[in-house]
């Protein structure tokens, strides 16, 4: 009688032990451990690091293209002081404005407003660049917003005056 | 701290550096600030190189015995 009871207890104990390991998946246990976690983290680090290189290469190609793009905008005597002229730079789809400021300097900016892309005009009276859509004002000397909704500066077009001609030679998005 | 632990932890530091660098590179790329793209790309590549050294150091220690 006691022998039978002992045997029953033993088998019950074995079954309980079996239940304890039932929820363990051997494959997961082997794959998801400290070593595998570190290896996965290292792989992610390498992947993220290498993911930056295509952006660098494309940037280099693009900036090379922009650097070699020299366009004649106007002759020096074409604009009187306080006058402005529209042109396109660096492509035909990107309008810009050249201004001869009251202190006799040439400045040029892409004239799509940085708020909602409306065209920006030069206001001689107040010596500002004005976006009439939402009354955005930009400083003509540096292209930075001074009033209204725009938050970012206008892209600045780099100029060179050579042989009596005003040339656009490059562009800066963030400046000043 | 021993060599193994330092290399183990440094991989996570390099991972964080690469996450930040990649986000800055993308930001610079779409904002057309190519100077930022180059500098953060160099940071990311250096960090990747150091992570590789750290990983092999850790692996050497880990499987030594």
Beta carbons within 8 Å of A69's beta carbon, 6+ residues apart: A89, A90, A168, A169, A170
Task: Out of B28, B40, B48, name the one closest to residue A50 (CB).
Answer: B48
Q: CB-CB: which of B12, B34, B45 is closest to A63?
A: B34
Return the pLDDT at A156: 93
Domain that holds residue A89: 71-172
Residue A91 and residue A10 share a domain: no
Give the total number of structural domains in chain A. 2
Q: What's the whole-model pTM score? A: 0.67
Domain boundary among A18, A42, A67: A67
> Could you tell me the pLDDT band of residue A20, with boundaries at 50, 70 and 90?
low
pLDDT tens-digit readout, A73-102: 999 889 999 999 999 988 888 999 999 999
User: Mind listing the pLDDT tens digit for each residue in A40-64?
Assistant: 999 999 999 999 999 999 999 988 7
If asked whether residues A57 and A76 sit together in one domain, one would say no
Residue extents of the structural domains in chain B:
3-62
Task: Give the pLDDT mean for B25-53.
Answer: 94
> Pairing state of beta strands A165-172 and A156-162?
antiparallel
Q: How far is A63 from chain B (nearest CA, A)?
A: 7
Among A67, A85, A114, give the residue marking a domain's end.
A67
| pLDDT for res B65 | 65
User: Dihedral of CA B35/B38/B43/B44: which sign?
Assistant: positive
What's residue A85's pLDDT? 94
> Residue A25 CB: number of other CB atoms within 10 A?
10
CATH of the domain at A86: 2.102.10.10
């Amino acid at each position: 009688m006691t022998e039978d009871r002992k045997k029953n207890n033993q088998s019950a104990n074995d079954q309980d032990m079996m239940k304890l390991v039932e929820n363990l998946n051997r494959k997961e246990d082997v794959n998801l451990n400290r070593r595998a976690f570190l290896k996965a983290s290292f792989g992610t680090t390498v992947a993220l690091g290498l993911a930056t290189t295509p952006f660098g290469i494309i940037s280099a190609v693009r900036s090379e293209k922009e650097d070699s793009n020299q366009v004649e905008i106007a002759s020096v005597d074409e604009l009187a002081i306080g006058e402005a002229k529209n042109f396109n730079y660096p492509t035909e789809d990107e309008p810009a404005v050249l201004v001869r400021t009251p202190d006799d300097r040439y400045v040029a900016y892409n004239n799509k407003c940085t708020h909602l892309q409306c065209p920006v005009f030069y206001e001689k009276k107040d010596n500002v660049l004005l976006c009439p859509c939402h009354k955005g004002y930009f400083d003509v000397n540096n292209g930075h917003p001074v009033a209204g909704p725009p938050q970012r500066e206008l892209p600045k077009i780099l100029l060179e005056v050579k042989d009596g001609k005003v040339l656009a030679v490059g562009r800066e998005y963030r400046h000043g | 701290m021993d060599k193994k632990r330092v290399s183990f932890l440094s991989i996570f530091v390099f991972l964080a550096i690469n996450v930040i660098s990649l986000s800055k590179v993308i930001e610079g790329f779409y904002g057309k600030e190519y100077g930022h793209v180059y500098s953060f790309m160099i940071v990311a590549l250096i960090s990747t190189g150091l992570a590789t050294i750290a990983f092999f150091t850790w692996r050497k220690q880990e499987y030594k015995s």
